[in-house]
Structures are given as structure tokens and as C-alpha cells.
Amino acid sequence: MGKIDGKVAFITGAARGQGRSHAVRLAREGADIIAVDTTAKVDSVPYSLATAEDLAETVRQVEETGRRIVAREADVRDSAALADAVAEGVGKLGRLDIVLANAGISSPAPTLEMSDETWQDMIDINLTGVWKSLKASVPHVIKGGRGGAVVITSSLAAIYANPNTAHYSAAKAGLVMLMKVLAKELAPHSIRVNTVHPTTVATDMILNDATYRLFRPDLESPTRAEFEEAARTLNRLPVAVLEPADITNAILYLVSDDAKYVTGTTQVIDAGGSI
């Protein structure tokens, strides 16, 4: 018996990293999955984004659990593509109970020097893209009439300020009030809405040269080990980065009956970084 047997979860940014971790773990706990991600290039992002092969690997790992998955390429900036992907998934899997708005990017830059494109891409993906993802999916949860759960991936950056992250922090902080408003609106439908706020997590969005330089501006070409030296100082617990599974554990709690009365909250998984 899994914690979410027979339910269906829609996950954005599911091709790799936290999204893949969430998809596979929820499948192991009994859920079928609707997974989306995009291979579209975002010029302002200084690292490689997901590939079709990445999404195919998520499909393979979910199917290995014995659960079903409908995976489609869809950019969270594209409302029509999101709506089509969710509708296809619900049509094939029969319902929707859980929404994980996980997709996001990082593009560190000084506040007054970043390009208009860098700012706008961030807001379009990390804030507006979440709203579009919810707009495409949550009505299906409401229509099911069984209640449900929505978890939005925010960040420690919504709580604790670091230089060169104004656009990222603004988007992630905006998600908190989006969550709180939606939690009030959806409460009559027994749909719970919460945010999770991770510190640095060992994914491609973090493990790249741009992030290493963000954490070690004193070095020209910092290594991962040198990045981890700085990252470790931000956390009070003796750890440099969390693993995607650490965030998945919190999300599984939030979408299961273990958290059946938890809504409108900010769940911080930061190794003490916000203290």
C-alpha cells in the first residue's frame, strides 16, 4: 500500500532533477503521472536545459515502478501546450488529484546590470509559468470533486536575500502570495495549497559554472568543491547541498493524507539556512 494509491499527479519540470525525483517517488507510492518539460532554449539561462532524452528517462523510471505515465513536451510559458498536455493525461489516466508546479530556471546577475531579457525570462518562467501551470491543471482537480493537493516549488531565496538574485528572489517570493490566495480560494473544494522552500539542491540548475561563480565571486573559475565550501557556510546543519530526494520527502508528506489539514503554509527545507 502506497501513501497515494490510485491518484494522478501532474508535474512540471519533470525531465530531471527535483521533478524526476518527485515523479518516480510518487509513482512508487501508487500514483500515475502526467509529466511535462521543455527542450526549448532560453538564451538568458547559463546552463544546458533538459533534453528529450531526459524526459524519456523519467518515463522509463516511472514505468519501472509499474505505474502509468503520460509525458509531453510543454513550455510553462505556453498556456495552450500545458492545457493540451493535462487534458490528454486526464483523458488517459482518468483523473487528477495532485499538482506539482516545479519547473524553474536560474540566471544569476547583478540587479542593475542584468538585461531586460534576463529579468523577463525569469518572471515568465518562475512566476507566470507557475500560474499558467495551475490554471491548466487545477480545474481538473476541482472537477473531480475529491479534493486534492497543490505544491509550488519556491525557494529559500524567497526568505533569505543573496546578491545577484533579485529576479529569482522576486519570482520565488511572488509564489508565496500566489499560494496563499489560491489556498483560500480552493479550501471550499478541499484542495490544499502549499509551497516548499529548498536551500541549494544538487541538480543541474545548481551544479554549473554560473552558480559556482555566484557563490565564489572571489575566484575566476571555482570548482564544485570550492562552491560547496561557500554553500556550506549558508546552512547551519553541516551540509553543502541537499539531494532532490530530500525535497521529494517533504512533497510526499504535503500531498498525502499525513498533511490532510495542512494548507496555506511555507515548508522550509533549508538545513537551517534561514536562521
> Is the model more confident about 181 or about 275?
181
What pLDDT, on the 0 to 100 scale, is given for residue 130? Answer: 99
C-alpha cell at 132: 499558467
C-alpha cell at 122: 525569469
Q: Classify residue 270 as exposed, middle or buried by CB count within 10 Å of its CB (0-12, 13-18, 19+).
A: buried
Residues recognised as catalytic: 168
pLDDT tens for residues 161-171?
999 999 999 99
What is the overall mean pLDDT for the chain? 97
What pLDDT, on the 0 to 100 scale, is given for residue 202? Answer: 95
The phi, psi pair for 117, rounded to 5°, reads -65, -40
Q: Which amino acid is at 189?
A: H
Query: What value does the mean pLDDT take over residues 197-224?
Result: 94
Residue 271 near residue 199, CB atoms below 8 Å: yes
Residue 89 pLDDT > 90: yes
CB atoms within 10 A of CB 76: 27
Residue 175 near residue 113, CB atoms below 8 Å: no
C-alpha to C-alpha distance for 59 and 68, rounded to whole angstroms: 9
* Nearest alpha carbon to residue 248 among 5, 10, 6, 24: 24
* Furthest CA-CA distance within the chain: 55
C-alpha to C-alpha distance for 171 and 155, rounded to whole angstroms: 10
What pLDDT, on the 0 to 100 scale, is given for residue 216? Answer: 93
What pLDDT, on the 0 to 100 scale, is given for residue 72? Answer: 98
Q: What percent of the chain has pLDDT over 70?
A: 100
Residue 127 pLDDT > 90: yes
What pLDDT, on the 0 to 100 scale, is given for residue 234? Answer: 86
Residue 151 pLDDT > 90: yes
Residue 273 near residue 236, CB atoms below 8 Å: yes
Q: What percent of the chain has pLDDT over 90?
A: 98
255 CB-near residues (< 8 Å, 6+ apart):
4, 9, 26, 98, 100, 149, 151
pTM of the model: 0.96
Query: What value does the mean pLDDT take over residues 56-75?
Result: 98
Residue 115 near residue 63, CB atoms below 8 Å: no
C-alpha to C-alpha distance for 114 and 262, rounded to whole angstroms: 38
Indicate the range of 55-69, 201-215, 254-268 predicted with least confidence. 201-215
Residue 69 half-sphere exposure toward CB, CA atoms < 13 A:
28
Query: What value does the mean pLDDT take over residues 130-149?
Result: 98
Residue 217 pLDDT > 90: yes
What pLDDT, on the 0 to 100 scale, is given for residue 1? Answer: 83
